[in-house]
Chains A and B, each alone.
Chain A
Amino acid sequence: MNTKNNSSDWLYTISPKRKLIDLNFKEIWRYRDLLLLFVKRNVITLYKQTILGPLWYFIQPLFTTLTFTLIFNNLANIPTGNGIPAFLFNLAGLSCWNYFSSCLTGTSNTFKANQGLFGKVYFPRVIVPLSVVITNLVNFGIRMLVFISFYVYFKLFTESASQALPTASVVLLPVLIFLMALFGLGFGMIISSFTTKYRDLTYLVGFGVQLLMYGSAVMYPLSYFKEKLPEYSWLVEYNPMTTFIELFRHMTLGTEQFSLASFLYAGTVSIVFFLIGLIVFNRTEKSFIDTV
């Protein structure tokens, strides 16, 4: 009798039934300390037992940008438009691209990389991809510092950057960064959910991300691509990353035109990817340990 009366005040139920979106925000909030500790772990363990330590955060983007400038601008003569220094142009594109791609690859192996952890203890699984995105945000912040330093350097000591001026739309920069994160996170969660059962996707992501970079207007302006290869330009144009990178350069360096339509398009795609990612991720997290 007693149990019947009490049946209403069960705290929670473990059952096979699942809702389409079963995000328990209260629970995620309760685990916020774990999120921060994961971020801390990711940041501090990356360069432990290295001599240069956190300096690597600066060295990496510098050398990649230098190489890109040498190959694509000095050797292949790709114009940057508006007479912006090629180094700044590449640094801007690469910073964005690296942010997106590390969010994507970092979250895409969530289930596989954390199999041991997920198999032993429960916490909201979405914490792990979130921690990857926040960790990358920290890295992105460091890259932005590098970017700003060089920006100031080019402004003060050279004539070449006279055209480079931030536009008023720079106030939308946080939104842009947020949308890029959503896109990378959503895409990554979709991939990680499918790789638990079908490993094929791991290989696809490996070279797919590299190929995607060439289709994301990282080392060339979209206008130049349209001019040279008009029949393929739709491929690059419909890629939301192209929009994000173009917009980022527009906001910070004043290249090209600001197009609200493309901004809305890329934003919508990101949000849709994120929502699909959440749904798929949620469906997977309950049973993946049996299929992984």
Chain B
Amino acid sequence: MKKKDIILKAENISKQYRLGLVGTGTIKDDLKRWWFKIRGKDDPFLTVGESNDRSTKAESDYVWALEDINFEVQRGEVLGIIGKNGAGKSTLLKILSKVTSPTTGEIKTKGRIASLLEVGTGFHGEMTGRENVYLNGAILGMTKKEISSKIDEIIAFSGCERYIDTPVKRYSSGMTVRLAFAVAAFLEPEILVVDEVLAVGDAEFQKKAIGKMQDISRGEGRTVLFVSHNMAAVRSLCTRGLLLENGKNVFESEDINLCISEYLKNEPHSNLTTKYLNEDKKFGITSIKLTSNTNVFDVNDEICFDLKLSQSIVDEYICAFYVRDELGEVLFFSESTDEKLVITKDDNNLKFLFNAQYLLVGFYKITFGIKSKSGNLVDVVKDEITINIVDTYRTRSKRPGKIILPTIWKKVKS
């Protein structure tokens, strides 16, 4: 690693929120806070907050939406911030974009931050598309001159040329989003903060938007902080990952795939209970792993597994696995005899793979098992591995059904 050029640095960022209704009782707390302050003491409520776990019952009226978040971002990097709902992603972005201030800690930057937490902020329905481009651009921090010099490109990118002098209230919602994103796409800040804005618009537009984001980060070398639940978008855009959980920074990695896997590991559908059917546990599966360091696969990828067994007591046995979808239905089943493979007691390492192209986009859980030649189950590892199939390049749209089979289509001359 050469010289680090750190453009943004967050130190001990925390954010406290008050639970329940802000109504009666707030004057009391406000006065107490003020009374502590004029005596030069710390805010008494800063010590009482609880960690932000949405599902547990609260003991205190105050909660920490973010707790001691530290990270650094280098110039030209695309940092993906991922986490479950309520993990604190949006709060972090709000602090970064100065919409709200942190309770403690500070963020230092060396560049102007422009934030895109929503597309079309400040659009006014009564005004024409062109007028709204100017207004929205100015809200996002552009000057009139900058907008004027780019207005033709913006209109071309949005693809709303015909309607540009029509009031925005006559637009379809898709057109509004296109126009709004087009304005944002031509922002030129040193640091761009983007929340889940790609989730809108049709497939064609999403592709265009992701492409534009890639241009911004790779082509123009600007720093981007990106929040999304769309793992395909995160994987294709980000160079580094930051995983938040209950307001804490739980995982940070230079490899975005590692970060995504870590996130998916915490998904409720994967559980790690291993049950040996042979009571004495003398023989069984010792480890089962993906050979890749990620469990996110594109539809064109191969999914490869490493299976390790302990010293066998059975002379000859059969290995098998099945893949289940999110609803728990078995999609297909495969065993080593399919390949006429004879596994004897000295074979402790096995490798097998299948192609992701037959699967639709989504999450799949894989169960492994071994049985003796006579058919007695020896060991089963249930739902051990969760894989996520994504469609990075959108070569196939969402289809009905459960699997995709290569089909031959032909014209027949009559």
**A residues near B, CB below 8 A?**
2-3, 6-7, 9-16, 18, 30-31, 33-34, 36-38, 40-41, 44-45, 48-49, 116-123, 197, 286-287, 289-291
Contacts and interface: CB of A to CB of B under 8 A. Distances in A.
A121 B140 contact: yes
Interface centre among A119, A121, A287 (most CB of B within 10 A): A121
A51 to B, nearest CB: 16
A41 B125 CA distance: 11
Contacts of B80: none
B16 to A, nearest CB: 9
A11 B9 CA distance: 12
Complex A-B, nearest 9 residue pairs according to Cβ-Cβ distance, in ascending order: A15-B106, A34-B138, A122-B98, A14-B107, A33-B144, A10-B108, A286-B101, A45-B126, A48-B126
Given A14-B96, A34-B138, A120 B109 contact: no
Interface stretch (B111-119, B237-245, B312-320, B354-362): B111-119
Contacts of B122: 117, 121
B38 interface: no
Contacts of B107: 13-15
A11 B189 CA distance: 13
Contacts of B201: none
Contacts of B18: 290
A121 B139 contact: yes
B253 to A, nearest CB: 20
Contacts, number: 110
B86 interface: no
6 contacts: A14-B95, A16-B105, A41-B124, A41-B135, A48-B167, A119-B99
A290 B135 contact: no
Nearest to B22: A291
Contacts of A38: 135
A44 to B, nearest CB: 7
A30 B101 CA distance: 22
A37 B100 contact: no
B6 interface: yes
A66 B383 CA distance: 82
Nearest to A17: B106
B139 A3 contact: no
B214 interface: no
Nearest to A49: B126
A122 B101 contact: no
B135 A197 contact: no
B127 A41 contact: yes
Contact of B101 (A6, A11, A287): A287
Given A14-B98, A33-B143, A197-B22, A120 B103 contact: no
B7 to A, nearest CB: 9
A9 B108 CA distance: 10
Contact of B104 (A7, A16, A118): A16
Contacts of B22: 197, 291
B308 interface: no
Nearest to A12: B109
B143 A118 contact: no
Contacts of B143: 30, 33
A45 B121 contact: no
Contacts of B112: 11
Given A9-B110, A49-B126, A122-B97, A16 B103 contact: yes
B134 interface: yes
Given A6-B6, A10-B109, A34-B138, A286 B100 contact: yes
Nearest to A114: B122
Contacts of B139: 34, 117, 121, 123
Nearest to B123: A117
Contacts of A2: 3-4
Contacts of A49: 126
B371 interface: no
Given A119-B94, A286-B100, 11 more contacts: A10-B109, A13-B109, A14-B107, A15-B101, A15-B106, A16-B101, A16-B104, A41-B135, A120-B115, A121-B97, A287-B101
Contacts of B17: 290
A128 to B, nearest CB: 11
A40 B9 CA distance: 38
B127 A15 contact: no
Given A123-B139, A197-B26, A289-B94, A15 B100 contact: no
B159 interface: no
B104 to A, nearest CB: 6
Contacts of A37: 134-135, 138, 144
Interface string B218-229: 000000000000
B99 A121 contact: yes
B194 to A, nearest CB: 12
A200 to B, nearest CB: 11
A198 to B, nearest CB: 8
A38 to B, nearest CB: 8
Contacts of A123: 139, 141
A37 B148 CA distance: 13
Contacts of A45: 124, 126-127
B365 to A, nearest CB: 38
A10 B8 CA distance: 9
Given A12-B109, A123-B139, A3 B4 contact: yes
A140 B4 CA distance: 57
B341 to A, nearest CB: 55
B83 interface: no
A283 to B, nearest CB: 11
Contacts of A12: 108-109
B105 A15 contact: yes
A286 B97 CA distance: 12
A121 B120 CA distance: 11
B102 interface: yes
B135 A11 contact: no
Contacts of B9: 3
A117 B98 CA distance: 13
A41 to B, nearest CB: 6
Nearest to B121: A120
A235 B387 CA distance: 76
Nearest to A289: B100
Contacts of B124: 41, 45
A61 B144 CA distance: 34
Nearest to B113: A122
